[in-house]
Amino acid sequence: MTEIADILISASFWAAILRIASPLIFATMGELICERAGVLNLGIEGIMVFGAFAGWMAVYAGLPLWGGVAVAMLGGMAFGALHGLLTVPFGLSQHVVGLGITMLATAAAYYAYRLALPQVTNPPRITPFQPLHIPVLSNLPWLGQALFSQTALTWAGFAAAGATALVLFRTPLGLAVRAAGENPQAVEAQGLSVTAIRMGAVIVGSGLMAVGGAFLTMSAFSSFFFEMVNGRGWICIALVVFGAWKPGKALLGALLFAGFDALQIRLQQTGLGQVVPYQVFLMIPYLLSILALIAMSRRAEVPAALMTPFNRGDR
Amino acid sequence: MPPETTAQGPVLRLSGITKRFGQLTANDGISLSLARGEVVALLGENGAGKTTLMNILFGHYTADAGTVEVMGQTLPPGQPGAALNAGVGMVHQHFTLADNLTVLDNVLLGTRPLLSLSPGRGAARRKLAQLAQDFGLAVDPDARIAALSVGERQRVEILKALFRDARILILDEPTAVLTPQEADALFDTLRRMLAQGLSVIFISHKLHEVMAISSRVLVLRHGKLVGETATDATDRHQLATMMVGAEITAPAPAEARPGETLLKLDNVSTARQGNRPGLQDVALDLRAGQILGLAGVSGNGQGALADLLSGLESPTQGTLTLADKRPDAWSPRTAVALGIGRIPEDRHKTGTIADFTLTENTVLENYATTARGGWMNWRAARTATDAIIDKYDVRCPGPDTRIRLLSGGNMQKLILGRVLEAAPRIILANQPVRGLDIGAVTYVQEQLIAARDAGAAVLLISEDLDEILTLSDSIRVISEGRLSPEFPRGTKTPTELGQWMAGQGFDHAA
């Protein structure tokens, strides 16, 4: 047990939590916005892959880092627009469209990678975001290293979560988004366009997902690998449920999952890791997440119109 | 006759509105106008096109032909936002409220520019309080819709329209979901609105309400405007005739000839479920060729009895005997197999599956028995559905229509047809005419009488004492899960039955 205690007091463990959580926070907020408007976006996994590729490729091609983030976001928004077009005005099955977008976006990223770098066996590296030095805070003993040695993109993730909460709950736009996910007839009867609101939510949400993917290549690692998103998108779908469709709770869920993940990586290197196969450690975050999901989501209120297409003039 | 108009002309004018859904012409060249401070009642049977017309006026639907003018300005078709801005408010029959939001947020939705930073709750709260006071519409602005009663939700719907300074209010069957007291309060609110110069279109098929509140009545039938009259110059009988297109006579069943007992309950009790009382030591005989009316205040065990006879619930004590046999396993399938026809209380929840077609809904209870070699026999199912549509006058585009598109009355006719065509020996009719218009009510009641005359035992559960008194050969009253003795037709006055309904008399009867 002392080994776990050692891990918990090490500053690098806490820094890892924030780092691991960052892509999840972006993508979870993106998914949450979509679902609050009534659209389940299963394109998340593929959009994250595309964001990871597009951001990295743009920087490799010479754009500044933030330019890469913008390219990733625009790419995600384009896939979001396609997803929205098929699910909102056309009212197609959100499951089928979402999975289709995931396959399309993933394949598009891999294809573009091969087109751009046909001969390469080892993907080239870029200079990623560096930890942002915050005056005073970053110099604090232990805390500085544990909490305040993150890149600007991590802080942008937290800002995105805050902005999501503010917009959803403090502005007329957020009110319309939440109403569209609960009862689109209410939105229509108040003279707003359900189609426009849902399309907008899916596009913006998909943009955030892509930035979450871009975090992997532009902040966490400095290169693009196949399979690097590795199911993070699906985790974010669960985090939205875990967070009961509330940004604050979903943010906590992302940090919790990241905590389990950071812990299992470190546990593998302890004495325990000599005895227990490493695959068992890899399971820990998922097992604990499932347990937490069961405990947390039983009383959650699902947006009532989630996955229900809205057709004007339908009775 | 031309409508009364003020110096400025009518506040609203619909001209030549036509709307088709597939084969069905829901509105056929309808024109109407509305003056300031006037209540026009739009009267018509289910499926006559009243709601469709109002949905066109409000911009939910786009008409195939015709124009909508508000205060002399033509509204762009298919834009609720334009109708709202022109001062038209609509209280939908199925409320358009988001359950997860507060009253205040539902009222605010769509009233401010989407990209403004503040939702403007403070000013809205004050305006809402003022409106609530002016019009007698008290609701807690911070309550979530999910926590409100149906009557309160309707007040929120009206407040939504008033908050946007509506000058014309459309009320689509506003009293269908209200208790009599709530309906009185609504009428009080309407009168205050008229006093302030608002105009109202009141959709209803309840004649006494139309007579009480409207100044002019327009009657729709099969999508056409078939009559227009000042309310003073008409009466309920004349309106009913216009609405149905034929003289209406209340059904007058002939003398019953009760036969053998088909279903018998002895000392039966069932479990309490939440707030719903179970049956307590109940004995009941359902006899062939007889309608037994079950009177009682809602929530006194009617649900438990209906579920028991439907096969949804089993007795915790006592015995249920069907045709002199005690069924081994009691389930909905057994109940249907043993000849119990069920007209459920809630046709949306338990009577039909909304997104299934008429054909699919028709065979819900007998798909297994009509299947051939394990395959659905769709040809036979469609033939059966076509026959029901014809015989029971179900107004619909066809058997492949999703049943959610039907009006309540037509849905009920299909359910009735499904039940009666199976030639059940016992018919459980739970609130069979709730929410239906006169034509449909009379029709359903006549069919039940015909089934009785053909030898079926009918249990009629209703909260409407008039209906019970008209149809029943024999009456029992249910109160807190207990049954009164049987009262043959004509032996008890409504007042006496009312005392039983209030629970008096059970002690010495038990």
Q: Give Dmax over CA atoms of chain A in angstroms.
A: 66
How far apart (Å, rounded) are the C-alpha atoms in residues B383 and B405? 20
Angle at B303 between CA B302 and CA B304, to 5 degrees: 95
Q: ipTM higher than 0.85?
A: yes
Please give the pLDDT value at position B456. Answer: 94
Provide mean pLDDT across the span A26-38: 98
- pLDDT of residue B46 exceeding 90: no
Contact call for residues A263 and A7 (beta carbons, < 8 A): yes
Please give the pLDDT value at position B155. Answer: 92
Report chain B residues whose CB lies below 8 A from the CB of A303. Answer: 100
**Among all chains, which residue has been given the structure tokens 């001062």?**
B87
Please give the pLDDT value at position B70. Answer: 94
A1 — pLDDT class (breaks 50, 70, 90)? low
Give yes or no for B99 touching A (CB within 8 A).
Answer: yes
Provide mean pLDDT across the span A303-315: 81
**Total beta-carbon pairs less than 8 A apart between chain A and chain B:** 95
Look at the domain B354-423 and name its fold: Helicase, Ruva Protein; domain 3 (1.10.8)
A303 — pLDDT class (breaks 50, 70, 90)? very high
Contact call for residues B265 and B284 (beta carbons, < 8 A): yes
Cβ-based neighbour number of residue B252 at 10 Å? 8
For chain B, what is the mean pLDDT? Answer: 89
Q: Which residue has the higher pLDDT, B324 or A166?
A: A166
Out of A171, A301, A315, closest to residue B100 by CB = A301
Give yes or no for B78 touching A (CB within 8 A).
Answer: yes
Q: Parse chain B into domains and list their residue ranges.
A: 12-244, 250-339+424-510, 354-423
What are the helix (H) ranges across B234-290?
236-244
Shortest CA gap B437–chain A (Å): 20
Report chain B residues whose CB lies below 8 A from the CB of A301. Answer: 100
Q: Do B60 and A313 touch (CB under 8 A)?
A: yes
- pLDDT tens digits, residue range B144-200? 998 887 788 999 999 999 999 999 999 998 876 676 677 888 999 999 999 999 999
Please give the pLDDT value at position B256. Answer: 84
Please give the pLDDT value at position A99. Answer: 97
Please give the pLDDT value at position B180. Answer: 64
Please give the pLDDT value at position B71. Answer: 92
How far apart (Å, rounded) are the C-alpha atoms in residues B69 and A61? 59
Please give the pLDDT value at position B275. Answer: 67
Using CA atoms of B145, B150, B151, B157 in order, give the dihedral in degrees to the nearest 10: 50
Out of B78, B105, B110, closest to residue A187 by CB = B110
Q: Which of A194-208, B1-15, B132-146, B184-198 has the lowest mean pLDDT?
A: B1-15
Report chain A residues whose CB lies below 8 A from the CB of B109. Answer: 172, 175-176, 179, 186-187, 190, 192
Provide mean pLDDT across the span B417-436: 91
- Share above pLDDT 70 across residues of chain B, in percent, rounded to a whole number: 96
Q: Do B81 and A192 touch (CB under 8 A)?
A: yes
Shortest CA gap B322–chain A (Å): 42
Please give the pLDDT value at position A290. Answer: 84
Q: Do B108 and A175 touch (CB under 8 A)?
A: yes
How far apart (Å, rounded) are the C-alpha atoms in residues B172 and B56? 13
Give the CATH number of domain B12-244.
Answer: 3.40.50.300
Q: CATH top-level class for B250-339+424-510?
A: alpha beta
Shortest CA gap A99–chain B (Å): 25
Provide mean pLDDT across the span B55-72: 93
C-alpha distance across the termini of chain A, in Å: 62
Taking a contact as any Cβ pair under 8 Å apart, which residues of chain A between 118 and 177 contact chain B?
Answer: 170-173, 175-176
- pLDDT of residue B19 exceeding 50: yes
Give yes or no for B355 touching A (CB within 8 A).
Answer: no
A193 — pLDDT class (breaks 50, 70, 90)? very high
Report chain A residues whose CB lies below 8 A from the CB of B105. Answer: 175, 179
Q: Parse chain A into domains and list their residue ranges.
A: 2-115+146-297
Out of B81, B94, B105, closest to residue A175 by CB = B105
Report chain A residues whose CB lies below 8 A from the CB of B115. Answer: 172-173
Q: Do B96 and A191 touch (CB under 8 A)?
A: no
Report phi then psi at B427, rounded to 5: -120, 125
Report chain A residues whose CB lies below 8 A from the CB of B92. Answer: 185, 189
Residues with Cβ within 8 Å of B109's Cβ and at least 6 positions away in sequence, in order, are A172, A175, A176, A179, A186, A187, A190, A192, B98, B101
- pLDDT tens digits, residue range B320-340? 998 888 888 899 989 998 999
How far apart (Å, rounded) are the C-alpha atoms in residues B61 and B20? 11
Give yes or no for B96 touching A (CB within 8 A).
Answer: yes
Q: E-strand spans in A120-231?
A: none
Give yes or no for A303 touching B (CB within 8 A).
Answer: yes
Taking a contact as any Cβ pair under 8 Å apart, which residues of chain A between 262 and 301 contact chain B?
Answer: 301
- pLDDT tens digits, residue range A278-292? 888 888 888 887 887
- pLDDT of residue B1 exceeding 50: no
Give yes or no for A84 touching B (CB within 8 A).
Answer: no
Angle between helices A11-36 and A247-268 (to 10 degrees): 140
Taking a contact as any Cβ pair under 8 Å apart, which residues of chain B between 48 and 67 contact chain A?
Answer: 58, 60-62
Please give the pLDDT value at position B8. Answer: 62
Q: Do A192 and B119 touch (CB under 8 A)?
A: no
Angle between helices A44-60 and A232-242 (to 10 degrees): 130
Amino acid identity of B112?
Answer: R
Contact call for residues B33 and B57 (beta carbons, < 8 A): no
- pLDDT of residue B445 exceeding 70: yes
What are the helix (H) ranges across B47-120?
50-58, 80-85, 103-108
Please give the pLDDT value at position A315. Answer: 45
How far apart (Å, rounded) are the C-alpha atoms in residues B130 and B433? 40
Please give the pLDDT value at position B263. Answer: 94
Query: Buried (b) or exposed (e) across B335-356, using 16+ Cβ within 10 A?
Result: bbebbbbbbbbebeeebbeeee
Report chain A residues whose CB lies below 8 A from the CB of B84. Answer: 190-191
Q: Which of A164-173, A306-315, B25-34, B203-212 has the lowest mean pLDDT?
A: A306-315
Q: Do B110 and A176 touch (CB under 8 A)?
A: yes
The 8 Å CB, 24+ separation contacts for A176-179 are A176/B109, A176/B110, A176/B114, A177/A33, A177/A36, A177/A37, A177/A201, A178/A36, A178/A303, A178/B98, A178/B100, A178/B101, A179/B98, A179/B101, A179/B105, A179/B106, A179/B109
Report chain B residues whose CB lies below 8 A from the CB of A185. Answer: 92, 94, 96
- pLDDT tens digits, residue range B482-499? 999 999 998 988 888 888
Provide mean pLDDT across the span B68-86: 93
Query: Which chain A residue shows the shortest CA-CA distance from B20?
Result: A313
Name the strand (E) or helix (H) holding B87: none
Give yes or no for A312 touching B (CB within 8 A).
Answer: yes
Q: Do B115 and A304 touch (CB under 8 A)?
A: no
- pLDDT tens digits, residue range A247-281? 999 999 999 999 999 999 898 888 888 888 888 88
How far apart (Å, rounded) are the C-alpha atoms in residues A111 and A107? 6
**Pair of tokens at residue A219:** 């902040």
Provide mean pLDDT across the span B212-233: 92
Out of A173, A175, A191, closest to residue B80 by CB = A191
Provide mean pLDDT across the span A151-157: 96
Mutate to test the interface with A, among B56, B99, B114, B172 (most CBs of A within 10 A): B114
Provide mean pLDDT across the span B238-258: 81
Provide mean pLDDT across the span A287-300: 79
Taking a contact as any Cβ pair under 8 Å apart, which residues of chain B between 108 and 137 contact chain A?
Answer: 108-120
Beta bridge partners of B269: B317
- pLDDT of residue B510 exceeding 50: no
Taking the model in full, what pTM does it have?
Answer: 0.80
Provide mean pLDDT across the span A175-193: 95
Report chain A residues whose CB lies below 8 A from the CB of B113. Answer: 172
Query: Which chain A residue shows the shortest CA-CA distance from B161?
Result: A190
C-alpha distance across the termini of chain B, in Å: 62
The yes-or-no answer to whether B12-244 and B354-423 have a common fold is no
Phi-psi domain of B143 (left: phi exceeds 0; alpha: psi -120 through 50; beta: other): beta
B4 — pLDDT class (breaks 50, 70, 90)? very low
Query: Which chain A residue shows the shortest CA-CA distance from B60?
Result: A313
Mutate to test the interface with B, among A166, A182, A299 (most CBs of B within 10 A): A182
Contact call for residues A98 and A40 (beta carbons, < 8 A): yes
Give yes or no for A240 touching B (CB within 8 A).
Answer: no
Report chain B residues whose CB lies below 8 A from the CB of A183. Answer: 96-99
Give yes or no for B19 touching A (CB within 8 A).
Answer: no
Give yes or no for B259 touching A (CB within 8 A).
Answer: no
The SS3 call for residue A256 is helix
Look at the domain A2-115+146-297 and name its fold: ABC transporter involved in vitamin B12 uptake, BtuC (1.10.3470)
- Share above pLDDT 90 across residues of chain B, in percent, rounded to a whole number: 59
**Pair of tokens at residue A69:** 């983030």
Report chain A residues whose CB lies below 8 A from the CB of B106. Answer: 179, 186
Shortest CA gap A168–chain B (Å): 11
